[in-house]
A and B are shown apart, each in its own frame.
Chain A
Amino acid sequence: MASEVDVSFSAFVAARSRHLLHAAHLLTGDRHRAEDLLQTALTKAYLRWDRIDEPEGYVRRTMVNAHTDWWRRKPWREQSTDAVPDLPAPDPASYEVRDAVLSALATLSSRQRAVVVLRYYEGLSEAEIAATLGCSAGTVKSAASRAMAKLRVHPGLGWS
């Protein structure tokens, strides 16, 4: 019989994993790394599930920190699969959007990238981002400003 923790955790994953995986995709720019990042963060959360007040914030914070954390990104921890899932052929236009966004994000430093994802995808305030990244609100503000300056001139986004 499933424990209360298992039931609650499974419900959280069912409800939020797609959103969190999307964020991980923006952070890493790679499907497999994104899945690995999410699984790593969820594993940490699962191990202390009954002590976490705000699971999504915890998982988000863990993903952002783990993204730049060397030990959690060691290759032997990465999951690979031989089986490629069957996916519907996407609209070519969606490829263009995906490639444009990911190539633009790839021009940012890891901190700038995290700030952009947390601010414009997750909708967090500067104070919340600062708490997540463990830095000052001023640092968040300047990182966001520099990131926007780079994104503005990125040809793939069509803003120039």
Chain B
Amino acid sequence: MVVSEPDLRALLGAPALDLEPPADLVEGVRRGARRVRRRRAVGGAALGVVALVGVVSVVPRLGGDRPITGQVALAPDSRFPAATTPIAVLEQLNGGEVVTYFEGARWCTASSRADTTTACSRNVGAVVQPFAFLRGQGTESLSVDADGLVAGLLGDGIASVEVELADGTTVSAQSAQPAGFVRAVWWLRVPAGGVVVGYSARDGSGEVVTRR
């Protein structure tokens, strides 16, 4: 049968895909807006403090009597004292969380609940082959109980990664490159009972570049 665009339009607009908007949607939006405004207010105040500290730090240097040691300030996290980037939360799982960060050029992941399990890679070089940095299903630093993620670093020329499951489905992984990260990270929470059987890497035009 030839694909018809009207058929696709009808399918995408099918009532079966309708959802009832939450009754408190507007109130939820207002609550969210209040939170954003509070965060902005706090952020503005913090920026003022930083600016003040900056002025206080620079003044003695301008006077020539004290050198400045330039360290980027990070929110401290005692679980990951060697982190050189912010700690990015990938997922919250069963009361714990799975995070990622960099220690210099080493990519690290960690699962943390009562205990924290951390794993860091070798140094990430200037050139990264697709799937050169991949943490598969069952990796301790990506799991809490039986639930877990698969994750990796996007290689050169790779815009997105898809994860193939044993039941035949293919799921697009999320990806992001938080500030300070040497490379963009991709990750996917494996559905309950799901078994990962492969990965596909696509370039910016959506073409599959390589599989693993």
Contact = CB atoms under 8 A, between A and B. Distances in A.
Interface of A: 9-10, 13, 17-18, 21-22, 25-26, 31, 34-35, 38-40, 42-43, 46-47, 68-71, 73-76, 79, 85, 87, 90, 93-95, 97-98, 100-103, 106-113, 116-117, 120-121, 123, 139, 142-143, 146, 148, 151-152, 157-160
A109 B202 contact: yes
Nearest 4 A/B pairs, CB to CB: A70-B176, A94-B16, A43-B32, A17-B21
A108 B33 CA distance: 33
Interface residues of B, number: 46
A39 B36 CA distance: 13
A101 B12 contact: yes
Given A43-B33, A111-B206, A22 B18 contact: yes
Contacts of A42: 25, 29
Q: Secondary structure at chain B's binding surface: helix, strand, loop or mixed?
A: mixed
Given A35-B22, A159-B3, A13 B29 contact: yes
Interface centre among A90, A109, A143, A158 (most CB of B within 10 A): A109
Given A109-B162, A142-B205, A39 B28 contact: yes
Given A97-B16, A146-B207, 4 more contacts: A42-B25, A139-B204, A151-B3, A160-B1
B112 to A, nearest CB: 14
A74 B11 contact: no
Given A26-B12, A43-B29, A120-B12, A109 B206 contact: yes
A7 to B, nearest CB: 11
Contact of B15 (A9, A94, A102, A152): A94
A78 B9 CA distance: 30
A142 B29 CA distance: 36
Interface in B1-40: 1, 3, 5, 7-9, 11-22, 25-26, 28-30, 32-33, 36-37
Contacts of A22: 13, 17-19
B170 A106 contact: yes
A110 B170 CA distance: 12
B37 to A, nearest CB: 8
Given A90-B16, A98-B17, A71 B176 contact: yes
Given A21-B19, A39-B25, A106 B1 contact: no
Question: Which of B25, B91, B162, B176 has the most chain A CB within a 10 Å cutoff?
Answer: B25
Nearest to A91: B16
Contacts of A117: 12
B29 A146 contact: no
B178 interface: yes
Q: For A75, A113, A139, which residue has the most chain B Cβ atoms within 10 angstroms?
A: A75
B92 interface: yes
A106 B169 contact: yes
Given A35-B19, A120-B12, A142-B206, A70 B174 contact: yes
26 contacts: A13-B26, A13-B29, A18-B18, A21-B18, A31-B19, A39-B25, A39-B28, A39-B32, A42-B25, A43-B29, A43-B36, A47-B36, A47-B37, A70-B174, A71-B178, A73-B174, A74-B89, A98-B17, A106-B170, A109-B160, A109-B202, A109-B206, A116-B12, A120-B12, A142-B205, A159-B1
